[in-house]
Amino acid sequence: MSSTAGSFEREPVGMDERILADGSSRWPVEAGRYRLIAARACPWAHRSVIVRRLLGLESAISLGIAGPLHDERSWRFHLDPGDRDPVLGIEYLGEAYHAADPDFDAGITVPALVDVASGKVATNGFQDLTLDFSTQWTAHHRDGAPDLYPEEHRAEIDEVIASFYDSVNNGVYRCGFASTQDAYAQAYGELFDRLDALSEHLAGRRYLVGDSITEADVRLWVTLVRFDAAYHGHFKCNRHKLTEMPVLWAYTRDLFQTPGFGDTTDVEQIKQHYYGVHDSINPSGIVPLGPDVSGFLTPHGRAELGGRPFGDGTPPGPVAGSERVPSLA
């Protein structure tokens, strides 16, 4: 929504209960109980898919994918047979929200963890969800799972995440949905000031914190990988393309080529969503044919900076056949 000053303000999530291992919440950690509903188009959902894969939670938490298109009734499962999620049997994600609260009138968002037996949304708290995957679901991590939120670096990770959340992750939306020139200009300036600072930070180090991938990298990367396909043109974030920012472009390619990142990314669905749903910005609904995404697979040279992508852990195995990105299958 937009404030009277014309700036975009993200609505708070409506069901942000935690799923905790110690039983202190009404939603306990339990393998097989929940289904993660995500959308390959959405950056907030994408990061949950990445973390789930890196930690090897596929057997503990099943995955449902909403398609890139939705309407006033919410995200829908138009990629599945019969246009319904094959496990929950619902056509629209909103059905799971209203099963939990018939009077629910906040935003119906992805990611959401749905209690399979009852069909009710347990949580859509995207800010805690991936942190809880790392800290609450440890009993179900795969052998060799990386530590994406190591205790000794948590304060720094939290600080780095906070430094780019509003200006970059949310900043691209603040540019795209601004309704006044001044609000747009402010968001635009903050976005590129922060991207410049991140470029400087990453010029001499491979990852944002420490010498391996952490939660901070996941959260920044999901915005960067969408930059040229959606945010540069559609959201008017057009001072430079990602491909014209050498450090961030190399950093993005490095992670794209790391298991868990590029193999969970569907640029076609990203474009279909942004250009096909935001009719106030793109009333024609025409989806661009570009950009050429083959550059994501070109050499990046970042390994020369050292670091170990998975720390003391190992890479995840191949993507399960049922979860492969259609354009990569």
Q: What gap in Å lies between CA 210 and CA 207, rounded to an integer?
A: 7
d(CA 170, CA 197): 17
Half-sphere exposure of 168 (CA within 13 A, CB side): 28
Do residues 316 and 260 lie in contact, with contact meaning Cβ atoms separated by under 8 Å? yes
Cβ pair 140, 31 in contact under 8 A: yes
Instruction: List all residues 6 or more positions away from 246 whose beta carbon is below 8 Å from its beta carbon.
Output: 199
Contact 66, 39 (CB under 8 A): yes
Annotated catalytic residue, options 149, 173, 251, 274: 173
Question: Could you confirm whether 173 is annotated as catalytic?
Answer: yes
Is 42 catalytic? The answer is: yes
Closest CA relative to residue 226, chosen from 194, 198, 264: 264
Collapsed DSSP state (helix, strand, coil) of residue 278: coil
Catalytic residue among 34, 42, 237, 274: 42
- Give catalytic residue positions: 42, 173
